[in-house]
Structure 1
Amino acid sequence: MSRDTQQLTTFRRFSISIISLFFLIWIGVSGYIYIEDMTPVDALYMTVITLSTVGFSEVHTLSETGRLFTLALIIGGTSLFFFTLSSVAAFFLSGEWHSHWEQQRNHRMLLNLDNHYIICGYGRLGSNVASELYAKKIPFVVIDTLDEQVELARKLEYVAIKGNAADEKVLKNAGINKAKGLIASASTDAENVFIVLTARTLKPSLHIIARADCEESENKMLRAGAEHVVLLYQSAGRKMANMLIEPDLAQYLDELSDANQLDLQIAQFIITETSSLSGKTFREADLYNNYQINLVGYKLPEGEIHSTPKPSEVIQKKATIIAIGSPKALKNFKELAKGEQA
């Protein structure tokens, strides 16, 4: 039985206890009114002192039927007391109270997610992706089929849910309608194909990246709807070759992409229609002197990439600027690119 199921069972027992208590009170009040012809207040008084077994005096001498009814109430109240006590003891002694608190916190965080990323599979790849996003303070949710992996993610304060990411209901629970992107990082290529297909069906505009172990799976994932497919062994081989040939350059690029590198980072920005940069030339914008960032590349809306744009080239709306700078400078430039800053 999963932890979430155990918590559900425990709280069902609590719910039964509360409902049973009110039901007993209702029976007691109704019984005393009917059997002993008491007023509602007197009937409620008798019911409460009977169920609580405090031993105060009766409103008036009870009939034989009233006494039998009172005995039944005492037995019912005592049984309910021990049932509730055992539920409370099991709840606290097993540590489920802490697990429930974590589950409720996770649920609240899940409801507040917006413009986030969905990581499908919390294995070696998924956990590293989550670590990078968390370090960069980018919202995300983790989906995994294993309880242990979900608990591990939650211990790191990640938002995580248990389920099969190829299931439409699970993706909807992860907020796919509000998500910005999805990473299919399950353990097998077959799982990732189904995840990509389901996600693309639910949200055609979603940015989807999938991992693959073999080249034969790449075309399948692209046809299923992935925009990019990362071949792990191919990527690792290329990186190792670069480290072998140009070790200093490879280290520099790693530091730029490292979220923990506080001095210098690399990022990309899409120029919106409301941005003051739109329509200016690179000479007029003067990115280095005005915004303390270095231009790395410029991608036109049609997809053409200019690694060294000319000073006279005009910055177009919906174009992408790739730049290097300090986190503060990049944050300010991001607001400018979005049109949120004059």
Structure 2
Amino acid sequence: MKLPGHDAMARRAEEQVTPHPVRLPRRAVQKPLRQVAKRLLLALLVLVVTALIVYADHAGYGDNADDSVDLLDAFYYATVTLSTTGYGDIAPVSDGARLVNILVVTPLRVMFLIILVGTTLEVLTERTREEWRQSRWRSSLRDHTVVVGFGTKGRSAIETVCTGGLRKNQVVIVDPNLKAVEIATNDGYAGVLGDATRSEVLLRAEVQKARQIIIATQRDDTAVLVTLTARQLNRGAKIVVAVREEENAPLLRQSGADAVITSASAAGRLLGLSVLSPSAGMVMEDLIQQGTGLDLVERPVTKPEVGSRVREVGDLVISVVRGHRVLGYDDDSIGGLQPTDRLITLVRTSRPAQIAPDIRRIAGE
């Protein structure tokens, strides 16, 4: 059964189909008009050089009309020669002129043709080059992060993850909006254009090989369908979903989401906290902005910390992750730290050396 909004999104995706639904980031290139103008100027330069070479030895050329070759005749000869038209009314008659035609004019003719047809050849070979790039990209892509929806939520989420160490070439954006995909590729991410509720679209993003999936769609019903589809294609990936309404969170968890963030209620709680204590609100805002001020970091227990109490750890421990349970720092059941425990700590960003390796491993680098 399709939920409301699914057909509309599917139609929009179909209307925006392009020959290459997967778009890879690329270096900045010149605008087409500038490229054409540059090629024309080069062709004109070759023509002028050829005409001057011919005119410099005009005595070695014969003209069927009046037996003399002036500057206009030199440009005429250069034009018909470089364009391979070759009327034959003007021809080199001396040995020197013929030698110049062999060693100089002929290479210039080849250069002239290459310049003129270069744009056409580039267009014809663009599709082949793009298919080769995509084939190489697919073969090397694994343990990456797929972001469904490149709106405000999706963009902020992936910026935060990249701050923790994830490389941009390990991120694939999926969005039905062509402009959003173009923005993503301009930012250095790979982009897939299409409706993420469809398996073939997620397969283009290699979701079956992804380590983690971030779903930040505009509608909650779309998020449910994407989560179901993604979980069916990848049983082991970590799926984090953002929803608008808190009542939809249980449905997302049943659909296969590992974590569900309610954007509306989270924003409301932050607003309320800022009313009660503006300073506390500023601290919370700082905590959710990775890479600035104070950061919340999840890391494993080190060997020297095994058996220690939470308060004996050098970092400020907020919680202890033991198995599938998250225990508060003051929970008496924690006891001594175990080798398999993970600590959620509060650290300053000026201490990246201790936490960076584990962050990169978590993020998928």
TM-based fold match above 0.5: yes
* Residue pair 1:298, 1:308 contacting (<8 A) in 2 also: no
* Residue pair 1:277, 1:336 contacting (<8 A) in 2 also: no
Indicate which of 16, 19, 29 corresponds to 1:5: 19
Q: Does 1:219 align with 2:250?
A: yes
TM-score, with structure 1 as normaliser: 0.61
Give the Å deviation of 1:201.
1.3
| Cα distance in 2 for residues equivalent to 1:188 and 1:312 | 40
The AA in structure 2 aligned to 1:121 is G
Q: Does 1:126 align with 2:126?
A: no
| Cα distance in 2 for residues equivalent to 1:221 and 1:133 | 22
Describe the SS at the equivalent of 2:303. Answer: coil
Seen in structure 2, the aligned counterparts of structure 1 residues 154 and 309 have a Cα distance that, compared at 3 Å, is same
* Residue pair 1:110, 1:159 contacting (<8 A) in 2 also: no
Q: Does 1:265 align with 2:292?
A: no
* Residue pair 1:281, 1:311 contacting (<8 A) in 2 also: no
Give the Å deviation of 1:172.
2.8
* Residue pair 1:145, 1:163 contacting (<8 A) in 2 also: yes
Describe the SS at the equivalent of 1:177. Answer: helix
* Residue pair 1:256, 1:264 contacting (<8 A) in 2 also: yes
* Residue pair 1:277, 1:315 contacting (<8 A) in 2 also: no
The AA in structure 2 aligned to 1:280 is G
| Cα distance in 1 for residues equivalent to 2:17 and 2:117 | 21
| Cα distance in 1 for residues equivalent to 2:358 and 2:119 | 57
Q: What whole-Å deviation, never above 9, does each CA across 1:36-70 have from its counterpart, x for those lacking one?
A: xxxxxxxxxxxxxxxx9699xxxxxxxxxxxxxxx
* Residue pair 1:267, 1:330 contacting (<8 A) in 2 also: no
| Cα distance in 2 for residues equivalent to 1:108 and 1:253 | 42
Map of 2:343 onto structure 1: 321
TM-score, with structure 2 as normaliser: 0.58
Give the Å deviation of 1:120.
0.6
The AA in structure 2 aligned to 1:287 is V
Map of 2:267 onto structure 1: 236
| Cα distance in 2 for residues equivalent to 1:135 and 1:107 | 28
Seen in structure 2, the aligned counterparts of structure 1 residues 246 and 7 have a Cα distance that, compared at 3 Å, is closer
Give the Å deviation of 1:276.
2.1
Map of 1:24 onto structure 2: none
Describe the SS at the equivalent of 1:5. Answer: coil
| Cα distance in 2 for residues equivalent to 1:196 and 1:111 | 25
Give the Å deviation of 1:90.
8.4
The AA in structure 1 aligned to 2:343 is I
Q: Does 1:188 align with 2:219?
A: yes
Give the Å deviation of 1:331.
4.3
Seen in structure 2, the aligned counterparts of structure 1 residues 171 and 227 have a Cα distance that, compared at 3 Å, is same
Unaligned runs of 5+ in 1: 9-51, 56-80
**Percent identity among equivalent residues?**
18
Seen in structure 2, the aligned counterparts of structure 1 residues 90 and 107 have a Cα distance that, compared at 3 Å, is closer
Map of 1:74 onto structure 2: none
Q: What whole-Å deviation, never above 9, does each CA across 1:308-334 have from its counterpart, x for those lacking one?
A: 367993222332201122446454246
Q: Does 1:299 align with 2:321?
A: yes
Q: Does 1:204 align with 2:204?
A: no
Give the Å deviation of 1:87.
6.2
Give the Å deviation of 1:211.
2.1
| Cα distance in 2 for residues equivalent to 1:137 and 1:336 | 9
Q: Does 1:147 align with 2:140?
A: no
| Cα distance in 1 for residues equivalent to 2:313 and 2:306 | 14
Indicate which of 294, 313, 318 corresponds to 1:287: 313
Seen in structure 2, the aligned counterparts of structure 1 residues 264 and 150 have a Cα distance that, compared at 3 Å, is same
| Cα distance in 2 for residues equivalent to 1:122 and 1:100 | 28
* Residue pair 1:110, 1:141 contacting (<8 A) in 2 also: no
Map of 2:164 onto structure 1: 136
* Residue pair 1:106, 1:160 contacting (<8 A) in 2 also: no
Q: What whole-Å deviation, never above 9, does each CA across 1:136-158 have from its counterpart, x for those lacking one?
A: 33242210112111001111112
